[in-house]
A and B are shown apart, each in its own frame.
Chain A
Amino acid sequence: MKEFLLNIDRRIIFIFVALGIIIPALGSFNLPIKPTKNVRSIYDTIEEVAAKNGTILISFDYGPGSFPEVQPMALAVLRHCFKRNVKVVGMCLWPDAVGLAQQAFDTTSKELGAEYGSNYVFLGFKTGFHSLVINMGRDFHGTFPQDLHGNNTTELPVTQNIKGLADFDYVICLAAGNSPDDIWIPYGQERYKFKFGLGCTAVMAPDQFPYLQSGQMNGMMGGLAGAAEYETLVQVPGTATEGMRPQSVVHLIIIAFIILGNVMYFLYGRQKGGVQ
Chain B
Amino acid sequence: MSRDQIIFIIFLFIFATINIFLFGSGSLSADWTGFGTFIAAGITLSLYSFLYKDNPLFKFAENLYVGVAAAYTLTQVWYTVLLADVVNPLSALDSESLSNLWLIVPIFLGLFMLTQLASAKFSWLSRIAFAFVVGLGSGLTIPRTIAAKLLKQVETTMQPIPFDLFGLDLLIILVGVVTVLVYFFYSVEHRVASKIGIWFLMISFGASFGYTIMARLSLLIGRVGFLLEDWLVLPLPLF
Contacts and interface: CB of A to CB of B under 8 A. Distances in A.
Given A126-B81, A224-B214, A216 B152 contact: yes
A4 interface: no
Nearest to A127: B81
B221 A68 contact: yes
A69 B218 contact: yes
B211 A187 contact: no
Contacts of A113: none
A268 interface: no
B101 interface: no
Contact of B152 (A28, A95, A214): A214
A65 B85 CA distance: 29
A206 B80 contact: no
A67 interface: yes
Interface in A105-136: 124-127, 130-131, 134
Contacts of A186: 141, 144-145, 147-149
B156 to A, nearest CB: 4
A223 B140 contact: no
Contact of B204 (A146, A181, A206): A206
Interface residues of A, number: 60
Contacts of B84: 146
A197 interface: no
A96 B70 CA distance: 9
A213 B156 CA distance: 7
B221 A243 contact: yes
A234 B141 CA distance: 38
B211 A202 contact: yes
Interface residues of B, number: 47
Interface in B142-192: 144-145, 147-149, 152-153, 155-156, 173
A247 B236 CA distance: 17
A203 B76 contact: no
A241 B147 CA distance: 38
Nearest to A10: B51
Contact of B140 (A65, A134, A207): A134
Interface stretch (A18-26, A40-48, A81-89, A259-267): A18-26
Interface stretch (B26-34, B120-128, B223-231): B223-231
A245 to B, nearest CB: 9
Interface string A161-172: 000000000000
B12 to A, nearest CB: 20
A154 B149 CA distance: 35
A66 interface: yes
Interface in B198-227: 204, 207-208, 211-215, 217-225
B117 interface: no
B215 A69 contact: yes
Nearest to B136: A131
A2 interface: no
Given A124-B80, A131-B140, A222 B211 contact: yes
Interface string A125-164: 1110011001000000000001010000000000000000
Given A95-B76, A130-B140, A185-B148, A21 B221 contact: yes
A251 B215 CA distance: 11
A76 B185 CA distance: 46
A223 B239 CA distance: 27
Contact of B237 (A28, A96, A181, A216): A28
B225 A69 contact: no
A243 B228 CA distance: 13
B144 A69 contact: no
Interface of B: 51-52, 69, 72-73, 76-77, 80-81, 84-85, 136, 140-141, 144-145, 147-149, 152-153, 155-156, 173, 204, 207-208, 211-215, 217-225, 228, 234, 236-239
Interface of A: 11, 14, 17-18, 21-22, 25-28, 63-69, 95-96, 98-99, 124-127, 130-131, 134, 146, 148, 181, 185-187, 189-191, 201-203, 205-207, 210, 213-216, 222-225, 239, 242-243, 246-247, 250-251, 254
Given A206-B204, A247-B217, 20 more contacts: A11-B52, A17-B217, A21-B217, A22-B224, A28-B239, A68-B222, A69-B218, A98-B76, A124-B76, A181-B149, A186-B141, A202-B211, A203-B212, A203-B215, A206-B208, A213-B156, A213-B173, A216-B152, A223-B218, A247-B214
10 contacts: A27-B237, A63-B69, A68-B225, A98-B76, A125-B76, A130-B141, A191-B144, A222-B211, A223-B215, A250-B217
Closest 6 CB pairs of A and B: A68-B222, A28-B237, A202-B215, A95-B76, A186-B148, A224-B218
